[in-house]
Amino acid sequence: MRDAIRRWRDAMGDTHALGLVRIALGLLLFAGALRAARELEDVYFGDVFHQPMVPAGFVPTRSLYALLVIAQVLLAVTVVAGHRRSARPALLASAVLGAFVLLCDRLQFHNGRWALYCYAALLAFAPCDRSFHLGTPPGTRVGPLWAARLAQIQLAIIYVASGGSKLLDPDWRDGRVLLERFRLYGPQAVEAGVPQRLLDWMTRTDVSSALAKLAIATELLLAIGLGSRSARIFALWWGVWFHLVIEATSRVEGFTWLTLSIYVLFVTPDVRARKVFFDASRAKGRWAARAVTALDWLARFDVKAWRMDAVHRGHVVVVLRRDGTPAAGLRALAMVARCTPLLFPMWAPLAMIASFTRGRDADVED
């Protein structure tokens, strides 16, 4: 047991993905600070009814709160910029200021806001400033991953707490809460492009009851599946669609994008472990190479042109997996979708269709 804990504590890996998560959290912090600034233009919460969880004397005056909001904006910009000497302190300071404001007014508490500050605090202790940053390049991008692992555990705790509380709530289990949410935010969902027929179907009592049970089971199973190496990829895919559906049918104030950003922390910490070979003599091959390069935010692929003596193999694009096995055609597309965030929602159906396709993957030599 001690050896397992020690391995977990001392785990090292490439920090490329951490930089991407840092930028995402910085943008969410920036959006939250701008929201606070807009609200302050109308009314300051300290001048109206509020519920402080700290002594009333700790609640800032309007002018001091305005300075706190300005500081939050500047800190968020610093986080996104990623300067090596200031990005991580800015993350921690953003988390502290954000939590302080919530303690000053309980009415501003939102699960998504609290989760954002928790993730920001944890990521501040991770080497997230070694990629996607301004300033002098680091000597190495490899660094300790224990803080990122804690953020993973934090996500699992959120799923267990959310799913468990709903499971113990009879109104949630029976679908009444979900039905009310569909009716409340249904018009917004239709305006966003959700078909009216689909919304009408979801607002049926039996359907909302079944969807509520599915939502509870999903949250509890995601907490388990994300911790399993064998089930993780499917859990991530299912979780992406789960949160996208929530985003389309409810108002969750950025929690969808926050959770999907944290999903990036579950990516295996390696870079360019897969290869994409393309036929540079053909337009399709060149376009495919450009597309993969543009979508490869996590740096999963090393994109190379075929050697001249390999063009006769007849494949426009071939993907060489991490274990060295090649994939061509639809299987190659499924592999690219598996490793690129924007295409990842299409991975499972593509992989399923590809599994029924005939034809042998290409033999590739490096």
CA-CA distance, 226 to 149, in Å (whole number)?
12
| Neighbour count for residue 141 (Cβ, 10 Å) | 18
CA-CA distance, 235 to 237, in Å (whole number)?
5
Structure tokens at 171: 């109104």
User: What's the confidence (pLDDT) of residue 134?
Assistant: 79
CATH 3.40.30 corresponds to the domain 274-355 = yes
Sign of CA dihedral 128, 133, 134, 138: positive
User: What's the confidence (pLDDT) of residue 311?
Assistant: 43
Closest by CA to 333, choosing from 358, 309, 303, 354, is 354
User: Averaged in consecutive runs of 10 residues, what is the pLDDT profile of the chain (366 residues)?
Assistant: 74 89 96 92 86 88 93 95 88 95 90 93 92 75 90 94 92 87 79 79 86 92 91 94 86 88 92 88 88 92 74 72 86 92 94 76 48
- Domain-wise residue ranges, the chain: 2-144, 159-266, 274-355
Under DSSP, is residue 53 helix (H, G, I), strand (E, B) or coil? coil
Under DSSP, is residue 28 helix (H, G, I), strand (E, B) or coil? helix
Contact by Cβ (8 Å): 124, 92: yes
Query: What predicted TM-score, i.e. pTM, was given to this entire model?
Result: 0.88
Residue located via tokens 């940053």: 133
CB burial string 306-342: b at 16+ within 10 A, e below: beeebeeeebbbbbbbeeeebbbbbbbbbbbbbbbbe
Burial-class residue 69 by CB neighbours within 10 Å (0-12, 13-18, 19+): buried
User: What's the confidence (pLDDT) of residue 312?
Assistant: 43
Closest by CA to 242, choosing from 215, 204, 221, 211, is 215
